């Protein structure tokens, strides 16, 4: 019987038909998905912090409205993803507990600080740009609820990237100090953005199995290359350079060659030793704990109304 | 604790004339909060003109099995489809 279930699962994956919540699936598939979706959801939620840092200091009402909308979207993306994780039997409260206890990870990119307002633009352009590269193929991932969440997310990310690029283009047409600010932000974010695609394929332990299950559709290195090729002409148009002396077009490959990210730094930040790891988790924990009374009050209010409604129904 | 808030399934009508379609779920303490939260989570860009929320536990579903005998009654009734009937091509409007 179990062999029958497994072969049917594999046939469904092979034929590009989606796996849905109540279908039989291997334990490893379920666990891998819960880990990946939870990590993705946590990244959206923690990702509100670096930019949220600038909402009160946005230089105009327009920029403030845009930034608020973007940060609100990140919250929404986190909720779509938690909703998808729950269809696999994960419990939302439990995922939050694991995040604030440091037992589940989120994207390392959010452990870097946002030092100037140009960082808001660079996050939109490069960080959201890299996220889009990662997420577009996930719209075809084999698990239905995850794919559907990704479709919603990708539609909204396009606004994020464009507002970032527009912000930078505006600064680049400003004063020399503003242009320097943009270049400085690009210099600080370029390498961490390349690291967002994860370790090189040769060191990525999960890639092979995830590709076989069609959870992942492209390898880390393929997506990294695609991102570099997309970003170079955008940088030229903007008038900034990337801090990589090895970056150049390779006509034989039909792609850009580029240098190697500092993978020691990557692993240090993943393991918790980045510039802002402690601060990000502490902030999330404080928000969760300080909000406890609101959740309790809402529960008490709902219970009271249900009791009253019950009494009226009897009377 | 949010763990004790029930789960609600959310359905959105994209525009008048279309059915409500399932879009996802959320947790909320009661129906009223569920509708408000559904608006914020699922309709930030005019995706809907109407929202339904349904307690997830109130939904009764068929078995997930694709080969479920539950759907067998319609499987062998090809005569329910218009393409089952061979009609000469020169008959108009049919």
pLDDT tens track for A187-208:
999 999 999 999 999 988 778 8
Would strands A248-250 and A255-257 be described as parallel, antiparallel, or unpaired?
antiparallel
Question: Which residues, at least 6 apart from A207, have a Cβ–Cβ distance to it below 8 Å?
Answer: A201, A216, A219, A220
Per-residue pLDDT at A206: 78
Reported as a pLDDT band with limits 50, 70 and 90, residue A296 is very high
* B61 touching A (Cβ < 8 Å): yes
pLDDT tens-digit map of A64-81: 999 999 999 999 999 999
Average pLDDT over residues A60-65: 97
Rounded to the nearest angstrom, the minimum Cα separation between B5 and chain A is: 7
Q: Which 85-124 residues of chain A touch chain B by CB within 8 A?
A: 86-87, 91-94, 96
pLDDT tens-digit map of A206-238: 788 899 999 999 999 999 999 999 999 999 999
Average pLDDT over residues A295-315: 88
Chain position carrying tokens 């396009």:
A158
At how many degrees (to 10) do helices A277-290 and A292-314 cross? 30
Per-residue pLDDT at A207: 82
Reported as a pLDDT band with limits 50, 70 and 90, residue A283 is very high
Taking CA–CA distances from B43, the nearest residue in chain A reads: A76
Per-residue pLDDT at A129: 96
Cβ within 8 Å, pair A76-B40: yes
Cβ within 8 Å, pair A92-B3: yes
Average pLDDT over residues A33-41: 96
* A292 touching B (Cβ < 8 Å): yes
* A61 touching B (Cβ < 8 Å): no
pLDDT reading at B1 higher than 60: no
Reported as a pLDDT band with limits 50, 70 and 90, residue B62 is confident
What is the spatial distance between Cα A181 and Cα A196, in angstroms, rounded to a whole number? 23
Contact indicator for A283, A49 with CB cutoff of 8 Å: yes
């Amino acid at each position: 019987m179990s062999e029958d279930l497994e072969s049917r699962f594999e046939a469904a994956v092979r034929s590009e038909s989606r796996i849905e919540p109540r279908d039989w699936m291997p334990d490893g598939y379920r666990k891998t998905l819960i880990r990946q979706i939870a990590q993705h959801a946590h990244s959206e939620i923690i990702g509100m912090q670096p930019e949220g840092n600038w909402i009160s200091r946005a230089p105009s009402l327009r920029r403030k409205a845009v930034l608020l909308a973007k940060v609100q979207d990140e919250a929404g993306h986190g909720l779509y993803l938690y909703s998808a994780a729950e269809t696999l039997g994960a419990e939302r409260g439990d995922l939050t507990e694991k995040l604030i206890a440091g037992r589940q990870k989120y994207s390392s990119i959010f452990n870097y600080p946002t030092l100037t307002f140009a960082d808001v633009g660079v996050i939109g352009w490069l960080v959201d740009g890299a996220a889009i590269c990662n997420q577009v193929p996930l719209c075809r991932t084999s698990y239905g609820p995850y794919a559907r969440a990704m479709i919603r997310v990708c539609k909204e990310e396009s606004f994020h990237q464009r507002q970032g690029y527009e912000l930078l283009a505006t600064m680049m047409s400003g004063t020399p100090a503003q242009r320097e600010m943009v270049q400085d932000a690009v210099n600080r974010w370029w390498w961490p953005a390349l690291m967002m695609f994860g370790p090189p394929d040769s060191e990525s332990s999960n890639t092979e199995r995830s590709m076989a299950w069609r959870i992942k559709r492209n390898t880390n290195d393929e997506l990294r290359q695609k991102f570099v090729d997309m970003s170079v002409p955008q940088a030229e148009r903007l008038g900034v350079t990337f801090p990589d002396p090895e970056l150049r077009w390779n006509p034989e490959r039909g792609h850009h060659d580029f240098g190697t990210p500092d993978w020691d730094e990557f692993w240090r930040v993943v393991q918790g030793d980045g510039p802002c790891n402690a601060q990000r988790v502490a902030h999330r924990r404080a928000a969760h704990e300080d909000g406890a009374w609101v959740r309790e009050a809402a529960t008490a209010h709902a219970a009271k109304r249900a009791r009253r409604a019950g009494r009226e129904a009897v009377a | 604790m949010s763990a004790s808030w029930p789960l609600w399934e959310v359905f959105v009508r994209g525009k008048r004339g279309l059915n409500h379609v399932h879009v996802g779920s959320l947790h909320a303490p009661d129906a009223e909060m569920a509708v408000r939260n559904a608006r914020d989570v699922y309709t930030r860009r005019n995706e809907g003109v109407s929202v339904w929320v349904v307690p997830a536990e109130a939904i009764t579903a068929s078995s997930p099995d694709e080969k479920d005998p539950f759907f067998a009654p319609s499987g062998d009734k090809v005569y329910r489809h218009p393409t089952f009937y061979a009609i000469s091509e020169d008959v108009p409007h049919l």
